[in-house]
Amino acid sequence: MAFQIVINLIIAVMWMFLSESYTGVSFITGYLLGILLLFLLRRFIPGNFYMHRFFKIIKLVLIFTKELVLSNVEMVKYIYTPEPDVEPGIFELPLDLTSNWEINLLANFISLTPGTLTIAVSEDNSKLYIHAMNIENIDEEIRSIKNTFEKAIMEVTR
């Protein structure tokens, strides 16, 4: 991925040299042309086309924002009910992710999603311990959310 970005930057600079205008606008034009060139030549360049991964990252950010807003709506619901029927508890979630920064990202995401907060990562990085606000009726639902998150993170990193 880094290799493709470097090629793209070189193409952009080349475009600036060819058109002899050293401005931001011509750099951006060159960069867009570079994306087109890389897309056409993607079969001869090692690795997947990198804009593909870029779109996945955007998708991840959008999911994140959506979950943050939803979790706050839920929080407001808990706070303004006279007798909130919370049943807090800690449950464990087996992880499929392996590298440190993937786990870090997932833990951050979980902390900002509705009703969950990461409390600990197990010693061998195979489980997350999560405090849930309402463990009874959310447990399964949360697992499905985790699956979408974990899948989205895996699509970015692999």
Partner 1 sequence: MPLSVSDIVEFLGVLLILIGSIMAVISAIGIIRFPDVYTRSHAGTKSSTLAVLLTLLGALIFFWVRDSFSVRLILGIVFVFLTAPVSGHLISRAAYRARVKMSDLTVEDELGDAIRAYEEDNDDSDKEAKGDKGE
Length of the chain: 158
Cβ proximity to partner 1: between 98 and 108 the closer is 108
Q: Is 69 in the site for partner 1 (CB under 8 A)?
A: yes
- Torsion, Cα of 42, 45, 49, 53 (10° steps): 180
Minimum gap (Å) between residue 55 Cβ and partner 1: 20
- CA distance linking residue 107 with residue 56, whole number of Å: 19
Map the footprint of partner 1 across residues 21-50, applying CB under 8 A: none
CA distances from 104 to 19, 45, 115 (A): 45, 31, 18
Tell me whether residue 34 is exposed, middle or buried, using C-beta atoms within 10 angstroms of its C-beta: 0 to 12, 13 to 18, 19 or more. buried
**Residue of 35, 115, 146, 153 interacting with partner 1 (CB under 8 A):** 115
Q: Is 86 in the site for partner 1 (CB under 8 A)?
A: yes
Query: Per-residue x/- marks for partner 1, 116-155, CB under 8 A?
Result: -xxxx-x----x-x-x-x-xx-------------------
Cβ proximity to partner 1: between 46 and 82 the closer is 82
- CA distance linking residue 99 with residue 26, whole number of Å: 39
**Residue of 26, 53, 54, 111 interacting with partner 1 (CB under 8 A):** 111
Inter-residue contact 50 to 34 (CB < 8 Å): no
**Residue of 17, 22, 68, 100 interacting with partner 1 (CB under 8 A):** 68
- CA distance linking residue 5 with residue 45, whole number of Å: 12
| Interface positions with partner 1 (CB under 8 A) | 68-69, 71-72, 75-76, 78-80, 84, 86-92, 107-108, 111-112, 115, 117-120, 122, 127, 129, 131, 133, 135-136
